[in-house]
Amino acid sequence: MDLFEKCYNYTLANEYRAQDLFPYFRELQSRQDVEVVMEGKRRIMLGSNNYLGLTVNPEIIAAGVRAIEEYGTGCSGSRLLNGTLVLHREFEAKLSDFLSKDDAATFPAGFQANLGAISALVGRSDYVICDRENHASIYDGCKLSYGKMLRFRHCDMDDLEKRLKSVPETAGCLVVTDGVFSMSGDIARLPDICALAKKYGARVMVDDAHGLGILGEGGRGTVNHFGLEAQVDIITGTFSKSLASLGGFAAANATVVDYIRCNSRPYMFAASIPPASIAVATAALDHLRAHPELPAHLRELTQYMRTRLKENGIKCIDNEVPIIPIYTYEPIPTLTMQKELYEKGVYVNATIPPACAPGECLLRCSLMATLTKELIDEAVGVIAEVIHSHSL
């Protein structure tokens, strides 16, 4: 059998292209901002994870430029060998202090942080228990480990307890959950998860990619939001959202972080974060610490948009995060509505399997702290027009 046969037999993307409904790889011709130029036309950007709007902040841009001028464009090696800059250690110290952890290890991407932490910590005789709606990087981290993966129904604590009961007392166990789930915007039931983990002797890891900069005191994230810094053992996340850069991290006590640094293959055998990216992440973190009102302002804008959607007859879930899913259920209607919104100047993300379960397709709207109410009103008007034209 030809290895490439699967490639030639894969038709789904071309089927969507043939219907002019393929929504991916749209080309930006401007900065990642609240208004962008995409394929020659102005669009209101409601499909970015640039939650605090810091990718266009002049001071943060300047920090990246200075780092390139001082340190060059790259490190040309792993952190283990020649790739550790003073910038990396400075950032790790600031971030671990911000998250109330002893230390943090940084990775070239948030995806890699989950791969690196889980695969290093979960060994052959260990178990890892995951919420079914966890990010793909968590699933891949479990696959890369030698442990046994169990899954529990989304935010279902009875099902989680069943999984915990099935773990042998002689085995180590890690419960892993997103802090904020990237598609639905659901917030994990962390107090219940931590209580169950303590009952059964398991450790807890939270991927807070979509919680950092959003929830908690001054944007410290989901763990801080619930006051569980002492009970959540590992916090992972990314710089590509609220911190306006590229990279990822795993924060924990110093002994655990040192073990990850010395045993994680995705950490040891990858080139380190380039100078500009780590400098930008540091500047963004400094900006967040200096402006603790930013997350609160973002939550205010999020509530405003939810209210405006409801006033226009569009159902949406109430919570505190700037992810607003509009459920469209099936792929073709979802892709059709996303295309119509795009043509009318509003960019949202079409979410279809495998990014969601069958029958749970949605249009994912995400907000930035730099949006204005005028832009939100304009976007909501377009969204309402398109949604109601499909009798959704």
> At which residue do the structure tokens 């989304």 appear?
154
Query: pLDDT (tens digit, 9 = 90+) per residue, 318-352?
Result: 888 999 999 999 999 999 999 999 999 999 999 99
DSSP class of residue 156?
-
3-state secondary structure at position 107: strand
pLDDT of the residue at 357: 87
Q: What is the 3-state secondary structure (H, E, C) of 70-85?
A: HHCCCCCCECCCCCCC
Among residues of the chain, what percentage have pLDDT more than 90?
A: 97
pLDDT (average), residues 170-196: 97
In angstroms, the CA 136 to CA 138 distance is 5
Phi, psi dihedrals of residue 92, rounded to the nearest 5°: -60, -35
Out of 182, 184, 240, 277, which one is annotated catalytic?
Answer: 182
Rounded to whole angstroms, what are the CA distances from 220 to 213, 272, 317? 6, 25, 23
Using the predicted structure, report yes or no on whether residue 233 has a pLDDT greater than 80: yes
- Please report the sign of the dihedral spanned by the C-alpha atoms of residue 185, residue 189, residue 194, residue 200: negative
Q: Find, among 240, 269, 277, 210, the residue nearest to 74 by Cα.
A: 277
pLDDT of the residue at 317: 85
Q: Find, among 31, 45, 19, the residue nearest to 345 by Cα.
A: 45
Sheet holding 173-178, edge to edge: 103-107, 248-252, 234-238, 203-207, 173-178, 127-131, 148-152
Q: Find, among 261, 217, 253, the residue nearest to 235 by Cα.
A: 253
Confidence of residue 260 (pLDDT cuts 50, 70, 90): very high
Using the predicted structure, report yes or no on whether residue 392 has a pLDDT greater than 80: no
| Residues with Cβ within 8 Å of residue 199, at least 6 apart in sequence | 164
Using the predicted structure, report yes or no on whether residue 149 has a pLDDT greater than 90: yes
Query: pLDDT (tens digit, 9 = 90+) per residue, 80-115?
Result: 999 999 999 999 999 999 999 999 999 999 999 999
In angstroms, the CA 326 to CA 226 distance is 27
Out of 88, 135, 225, 241, which one is annotated catalytic?
Answer: 241
- Please report the sign of the dihedral spanned by the C-alpha atoms of residue 282, residue 136, residue 51, residue 31: positive
Tokens representing 57 are 């902040």
Question: Would you call 225 a catalytic residue per the annotation?
Answer: no
Out of 210, 242, 277, 366, which one is annotated catalytic?
Answer: 210
3-state secondary structure at position 180: strand
DSSP class of residue 273?
P
CA–CA–CA angle 331, 334, 338 (5° rounding): 140
Give Cα 307 distance to the centre of its chain. Answer: 25
pLDDT of the residue at 191: 98
Using the predicted structure, report yes or no on whether residue 391 has a pLDDT greater than 90: no
Question: Would you call 241 a catalytic residue per the annotation?
Answer: yes
pLDDT of the residue at 306: 97
Question: Rg (Cα) of the chain, in Å, rounded?
Answer: 21
Tokens representing 118 are 């889980």
Extents of the domains making up the chain: 16-45+292-389, 58-290
Peptide bond into 331 cis (omega under 30): no
Beta pairing class for 361-366 and 349-351: antiparallel
pLDDT of the residue at 318: 86
Among residues of the chain, what percentage have pLDDT more than 70?
A: 100
Rounded to whole angstroms, what are the CA distances from 8 to 11, 15, 369? 8, 13, 44
pLDDT (average), residues 209-228: 98
Question: Would you call 264 a catalytic residue per the annotation?
Answer: no
Query: pLDDT (tens digit, 9 = 90+) per residue, 296-318?
Result: 999 999 999 999 999 999 998 88
User: Burial, 32: exposed, middle or buried (Cβ in 10 Å; 0-12, 13-18, 19+)?
Assistant: middle
Instruction: Classify domain 58-290 by CATH architecture.
Output: 3-Layer(aba) Sandwich (3.40)
16-45+292-389 maps to CATH 3.90.1150.10: yes
pTM score, two decimals? 0.96
Rounded to whole angstroms, what are the CA distances from 392 to 332, 349, 384? 13, 17, 10
